[in-house]
Structure 1
Amino acid sequence: MNCLSFSELCCLFCCPPCPGRIAAKLAFLPPEPTYSLLPDPEAPPSARPRGAGRPGGPGEGRWKLQLSERAEFQYSQRELDTTDVFLTRSSRGNQVCCMYIRCAPNARYTVLFSHGNAVDLGQMSSFYLGLGSRINCNIFSYDYSGYGASSGKPSEKNLYADIDTAWHALRTRYGISPESVILYGQSIGTVPTVDLASRYECAAVILHSALTSGMRVAFPDTSKTYCFDAFPNIEKVSRIPSPVLIIHGTEDEVIDFSHGLALYERCPSAVEPLWVEGAGHNDIELYSQYLERLRRFIGQELGQHA
């Protein structure tokens, strides 16, 4: 999420605006891609991607992940080689790049992770490997339209279509049932996560530095949801049937702590939240209570909810 000047805000909201325009102004900062997809040289000819070398082209077949230095990958080639990457098409016609990392051989759960802004799968790959191994879960993630190797342009509607595509790919390609999936959204990633979780039941939902709505980020005194608001998490979170863990830093400088509190109060299926004293928007993972809370939630509490 990026800050707007007063003049930009005036221009944005005086039209009246459409949700897509609010979303584009407030949220999307796709980075220069930090990875590329190459045809798997070890795949038999029948399994090689058509349109090889063109991630925006047909996605059938087997790909290899090639990371740039900017991805800052912290593991060995062996871990990279065990990472599945593939392209699948969304209902809105965009190619969505997906990644599946087998972090834990006997994992009970797979985390469907919707990442934050200004990063892509290449930059997140090291974090996913570390997180999955520490919480004993496999990790499945995807890039939003216009991010990484995913085609199209980022928009609110595309966010919802992108996660739908990822959800169905996880279930059909790997045969993973909904009761074995934990939906995890971070920052802007909480928007597609809340939307999907309000429509499908799963093992659990984790909302990390979540926003209530686009208008409430731009105008903190906003107390109602307008028809032109974007990202209305506050209106959907009450419809989530699965257990919800909300995590927020008390000193979040991008999405104020009050957003986490408001979502917790509105969500009837919320469990004990994690308020990280002194944490900002991008450093919660550095606090020891972050992993401690995730392990307790996944390893102990989910069994009680089952």
Structure 2
Amino acid sequence: MVSYLNVLLYGLGGVGVAGLALLVAFQERLVYVPVLPGLTKSYPITPARLRLLYEDVWLRSSDGVRLHSWFIKLSPHCRDIAHRLEMVRIMMQKLDCNVFMLSYRGYGASDGYPSQHGITKDAQAALDHLVQRADIDTSQILVFGRSLGGAVGAVLAKNNPDKVAALILENTFTSILDMAGVLLPFLKWFIGGTGSKCPKILNFLVRSRWGTIDIIGQVKQPILFISGLRDEMVPPAHMKILYAKAAAHNKQCYFVEFPTGMHMDTWLVGGDVYWNTIRQFIERHVSGRKHEESASRTNGTVWDFLCCSVSLCS
């Protein structure tokens, strides 16, 4: 009986060790998804396929990694498109904006491999490129981040208070430490963020922590939080926690919920209410601060982190 118990314990121990080894080796694959299932890394659709004028822009991150991006500038025909098209085109229609799209390292045609340190550098390279352009109003750059993009956007806004006018977060997590137990439930007993009551004995294994909860209270710019209450990936409670943390330090924070919004379609199911919410936020805190008596159309630049890529609109 004792021998069987020893075998069982050793077996469980072996499974645990193997599980930890897999976590250490493949954790980036849980956080970063450069290629969605069924698609190739070089996705064939370009803005030209959507009848949009665009410019290929190649950047160098501060550590030398070559990055690919698109700059899509607003043109008159963009306002005449159908209502239900993908987000970038609708964003241009609703907000009268240009769009800058950056693929993080390891994504799309960009070189390198994704990591928290590297992606932070990539986003900074994109912002530095934008503020040097002569064809946009660089005083009206907004950062819009969804999911992982929200974590990246929060860091970017915090680090660049003089370059970023405002921040918009949608369906963003508090930290990867908190998400570990969501992605792999057994990990919630060993890995957790600042508000977790677990022992956190395996936190040291997590390389890309993306602690938005530790950053958001340091963002001084106006912040709009957009939460889809049916988010199937990030628990909606994460957005409420982020808002509470930010609002305790920043009086220009706003929280909007969309009851039927899921992780990637809140913009779609939200319809005109979604876009009007963003437009009003922009008019009040970006366009309004420079042109208080101007027309309602904004000429600002909205930086939008869309899933695998970074998109900016002006």
Whether TM-score is above 0.5 comes out as yes
**Is 1:218 the counterpart of 2:152 in the alignment?**
no
**Is 1:27 the counterpart of 2:15 in the alignment?**
no
How far off is 1:219 after superposition? Answer: 2.2
- 2:59 corresponds, among 80, 88, 92, to 88
- 1:188 corresponds, among 123, 148, 152, to 148
**Superposed counterparts of 1:87-166, under 5 Å:** 87-103=58-74, 127-166=87-126
Q: 2:91 is paired with a residue of what secondary structure? A: helix
Residues 141-177 of structure 1: CA distance to partner in whole angstroms, max 9, x if unpaired?
2000011111111111111011011011111234656
Aligned to 2:263: 281
Q: 1:128 is paired with a residue of what secondary structure? A: helix
Q: Which AA in structure 2 matches 1:75?
A: L
Are 2:157 and 2:219, in contact at CA under 8 Å, matched by a contact in 1?
yes
Q: 2:144 is paired with a residue of what secondary structure? A: strand
Are 2:42 and 2:109, in contact at CA under 8 Å, matched by a contact in 1?
no
Residues 251-273 of structure 1: CA distance to partner in whole angstroms, max 9, x if unpaired?
21101001100110111335221
**Is 1:75 the counterpart of 2:50 in the alignment?**
yes
How far off is 1:301 after superposition? Answer: 4.3
Q: Which AA in structure 2 matches 1:128?
A: V
Are 1:212 and 1:232, in contact at CA under 8 Å, matched by a contact in 2?
yes
CA pair 83-243 structure 1, distance change in 2 beyond 3 A: same
How far off is 1:195 after superposition? Answer: 0.8
How far off is 1:135 after superposition? Answer: 1.1
Are 1:97 and 1:143, in contact at CA under 8 Å, matched by a contact in 2?
yes
How far off is 1:72 after superposition? Answer: 9.4
Aligned to 2:284: 300
CA pair 152-295 structure 1, distance change in 2 beyond 3 A: same
Under a length normalisation based on structure 1, what TM-score does the superposition of the two structures give?
0.69
How far off is 1:75 after superposition? Answer: 2.6
CA pair 299-252 structure 1, distance change in 2 beyond 3 A: same
Are 1:104 and 1:137, in contact at CA under 8 Å, matched by a contact in 2?
no
Q: 2:254 is paired with a residue of what secondary structure? A: coil
Aligned to 2:169: 207
Where is the helix percentage greater, Structure 1 or Structure 2?
A: 2
Are 2:47 and 2:72, in contact at CA under 8 Å, matched by a contact in 1?
no
CA pair 305-210 structure 1, distance change in 2 beyond 3 A: farther
Q: 2:59 is paired with a residue of what secondary structure? A: strand
CA distance in 2, matches of 1:134, 1:303: 15
Q: Which AA in structure 1 matches 2:64?
A: G
How far off is 1:224 after superposition? Answer: 1.1
Are 1:187 and 1:211, in contact at CA under 8 Å, matched by a contact in 2?
yes
Are 1:135 and 1:298, in contact at CA under 8 Å, matched by a contact in 2?
no
Under a length normalisation based on structure 2, what TM-score does the superposition of the two structures give?
0.68
How far off is 1:179 after superposition? Answer: 2.7
Aligned to 2:242: 263
Gaps of 5+ in 2: 1-14, 77-84, 183-187, 291-314
How far off is 1:232 after superposition? Answer: 0.6
